[in-house]
Amino acid sequence: MDLEKHEELLKETQKQYPDIVLDGAVDNASWSKEKNRVLWVLKELNEFPKSNDLRSLLRQVANDLEPKKIYLNWQSSHGLHIKVSCQFLGSNNQTDRSILNRIAIIAVNKDASVSKSSYNELLEAGKKFRAIVLRQIELLDPTIVILEDTLHYLFDR
C-alpha cells in the first residue's frame, strides 16, 4: 500500500483531465489501519454536489449529524456500500455511516460531469482510464475488491 503515490497519481491525472473525480480511500488514516481493506470499483458515480473530491464528500457524510444537508442522495448512492462493507469489517450496525471512513471507492468513468453512461460510453471510459484504475488498485492494496459489474470495462476480451 502506498497512499502517497496514490495521491500523486490523482494529482498527475487531474493535470491531464481537470474534471476527474478524486476517488480512493475515503480516509487514508482509517484505510491504512484496516486488516480487511474493502475497495468498491463502480462504473461511474452518481451526481454529487460542489466538488470533484468524492473522498472529502464521503468523509463529511460519514461524520456529519445531518448528512442530507451535505449530499441529499448519499443513502441511495452509498447505503449499499455501507451495509455490505459492515459485513467485511465486523460491524453489526449496517446503518453506521462512519464505515465510509474505512473503505475505498473508485470509478471506472472518472469524468465528474457524468453520472449516467451508456454501455459504449463506459467501454470508452474503461479504455481511457484503465491504466489509472488498475494502478489505483495496486497502490491501495485492498484485501477485498467488489466489482460492481466493472471487470469487463477494465480488461480487453
What residue spans define the domains of the chain? 3-154
Encode 22-39: b = buried (16+ Cβ within 10 Å), e = exposed.
bbbbbbbebbeebeebbb
pLDDT tens by residue, 7-55:
999 999 999 998 888 999 999 999 999 999 999 998 887 766 667 888 9
pLDDT tens by residue, 87-127:
999 888 877 888 999 999 998 988 876 667 788 888 888 89
CA quadruple 15, 26, 3, 148: dihedral sign: negative
The grid cell for 119 is 454501455
pTM of the entire predicted model: 0.88
pLDDT tens by residue, 48-88:
666 788 898 888 888 877 766 655 566 667 778 888 898 99
